[in-house]
Structure 1
Amino acid sequence: MVEIGDAAQGNEVAQRIPEEARRILHNLADKWSDVADSKALEVVQLKGAMTNEVYQVKWPSSEEAAASRKVLVRIYGEGVDMFFNREDEIRTFECMSRHGQGPRLLGRFPTGRIEEFIHARTLSAADLRDPEISTLIASKLREFHDLDMPGPKNVFLWDRLRNWLQAAKSLCTPEEAKEFSLDTIEQEIATLENELSGENQRIGFCHNDLQYGNIMIDEETRVVTIIDYEYTSFNPIAYDIANHFSEMAADYHTDTPHILDFNKYPDLAERKRFVKIYLSSSGEKPDDTEVNRLLEDIEKYTLASHLVWGLWGIISEHVNEIDFDYMEYARQRFQQFWAMKPLLLSSSTK
């Protein structure tokens, strides 16, 4: 999270908040007795978001030693309706809030929403490798996967891949389609689905985008909160963990946030530790066979993760105005898919 430095920049950032959102913000602040001026908004853009623009809005408190009132304003990115149904995401957001799993919804406007500000720290890329924090994430993720959410419990991964493949084909140029071998990806999806759709798959309510920016920690209580539910759905839990491990290659707060370093992918000892904590956090005692089977499935599902976010990058390049090199990001995910496929899929050697 980066605070805008001088007043001129701050005013410029504040102008990005739509008028409809401002009215909701003013109405919220009018109900708070410790806010002297409901229109005295201090707006800070939070960096690292690649689907939406996210702003912290606060009002100076009139009470000495009292903390400032803060909320979060999320302005939806252009073209994101290609990725998920916004109404479904709002329903998930509200349901998660009822489960005590995330921030409360404070207001909606046509191009975004206002959320409760969680007084916790957003994780950094380095935090994912911290053994203590990783332990907390593993336990929290198991709790997340076990949520009894409404709606069908069907695996959504393969439909998402096929839908996004069609969207990418419809948007990209012939040169881009050739570069990414998009005509072959349908078969790659079918191969992955055939290889990975075994009877022993554990299905859960998955976040599907568990990068460090979507995890917060309260420094005092050490409570971890998973936020941002745009991509949530029921899926194999091995896929969600695979996606989390793959995100360790990223640092979205550098001068080149699109550059990935897969040398940072966790080694076997780190992966095994995470999986053991994940499986045992509900009270069960997993045996070595269960641990090793899940570890093997996770590695294979990294291939699905690379395809998902590779296609996401291609689509985003054509529909999103956020300053991020989506196409280079997609290029790296596809390169990693092709590099790892022969090592991870038995069918690739037949």
Structure 2
Amino acid sequence: AQLAVPYHGRFANGRLEQWLEGYRALEVHEMGQSMYSQPIFSRMARLHQFQLPVSLSSSSSSSTQPSMWSQLDSWMEQAQSISHYTTPGDDDRAARLLNLPNICEEIYWLKHDVVPEKAKVAFCHNDLLAGNIMVQTTTTSSLSETDENGMVQLIDFEYGGVNYAAFD
């Protein structure tokens, strides 16, 4: 079974991928069930072993560096640029709940003190929610046989890229 379904194109707010007949999106409450988690683990292990073709990975270090830090930095810049919210009550609530200086300090701490220097970096999905995991609805074989039979399929790779394997 392939790592991703064929991609057909992109439009303003989404992607068009091959239709998976006989599949459904995994439900959140099913993610911890071993009949699903074991096949998902197998799929993720295969994904994290994937080597980007040379034509897709440039010589710049940005193509081999984990994307998590630049994404967090971008989100922090966006959060800090908001001068006011839709309603005055939202301003007060945001000030109470979002201690942005503290969040910045925590990101720095994670980057410099928590994540090991040699943490495994791999090609990652980066958006592995239950809705991005499709499972076959047919019951002709057990899901424990999953990967070889393609009974679990990952979709929506638009955020896919180099990151810490543990991120997924």
Instruction: Please say whether Structure 1 and Structure 2 have the same fold, judged by a TM-score greater than 0.5.
Output: yes
Note if 1:226 corresponds to 2:154: yes
Aligned partners of 2:66 and 2:158: how far apart in 1? 16
Unaligned stretches of 5+ residues in structure 1: 1-98, 241-350
Note if 1:133 corresponds to 2:36: yes
Note if 1:145 corresponds to 2:44: no
Q: CA deviation digits over 1:30-67, x for unaligned, max 9?
A: xxxxxxxxxxxxxxxxxxxxxxxxxxxxxxxxxxxxxx
Number of equivalenced pairs: 142
Q: CA deviation digits over 1:176-228, x for unaligned, max 9?
A: 24531012221111001112332331111111221111101124464211111
Match 1:164 to one of 75, 80, 85 = 75
Match for 2:27: what amino acid? S
Match 2:6 to one of 67, 91, 104 = 104
- What is the root-mean-square deviation in Å for CA atoms of aligned residues? 2.3
Match 1:196 to one of 101, 109, 114 = 114
Instruction: Identify if the C-alpha distance between structure 1 residues 179 and 107 changes in structure 2 by more than 3 Å, giving closer, same or farther.
Output: closer
Instruction: Identify if the C-alpha distance between structure 1 residues 101 and 198 changes in structure 2 by more than 3 Å, giving closer, same or farther.
Output: same
Aligned partners of 2:66 and 2:120: how far apart in 1? 10
Aligned partners of 1:208 and 1:238: how far apart in 2? 10
Q: CA deviation digits over 1:269-310, x for unaligned, max 9?
A: xxxxxxxxxxxxxxxxxxxxxxxxxxxxxxxxxxxxxxxxxx
SS at match of 1:100: coil
SS at match of 2:128: coil
Instruction: Identify if the C-alpha distance between structure 1 residues 178 and 230 changes in structure 2 by more than 3 Å, giving closer, same or farther.
Output: farther
Q: 1:292 corresponds to which residue?
A: none
Match for 2:117: what amino acid? E
Note if 1:187 corresponds to 2:89: no
Counterparts of residues 255-294 of structure 1 (less than 5 Å): none
Q: CA deviation digits over 1:108-128, x for unaligned, max 9?
A: 445544322112121111221
Match for 2:164: what amino acid? P
Aligned partners of 2:16 and 2:4: how far apart in 1? 13
Taking only the aligned residue pairs, the percentage that are identical comes to 30
Instruction: Identify if the C-alpha distance between structure 1 residues 125 and 197 changes in structure 2 by more than 3 Å, giving closer, same or farther.
Output: closer
Match for 2:65: what amino acid? N
Kept after mapping to 2: 8 A contact 1:177/1:183: no
Counterparts of residues 40-79 of structure 1 (less than 5 Å): none
Q: 2:88 corresponds to which residue?
A: none
Q: 2:167 corresponds to which residue?
A: 239
Question: Structure 1 residue 153: deviation in Å?
Answer: 1.5
TM-score when normalising by structure 1: 0.37
Q: Work out which of the two has the higher radius of gyration on C-alpha atoms and give 1 or 2.
A: 1
Aligned partners of 1:204 and 1:111: how far apart in 2? 27
Kept after mapping to 1: 8 A contact 2:125/2:157: yes
TM-score when normalising by structure 2: 0.73
Q: 1:44 corresponds to which residue?
A: none
Aligned partners of 2:126 and 2:12: how far apart in 1? 25
Kept after mapping to 1: 8 A contact 2:3/2:43: no
Instruction: Identify if the C-alpha distance between structure 1 residues 193 and 132 changes in structure 2 by more than 3 Å, giving closer, same or farther.
Output: same
Kept after mapping to 2: 8 A contact 1:157/1:235: yes
Aligned partners of 1:209 and 1:113: how far apart in 2? 14
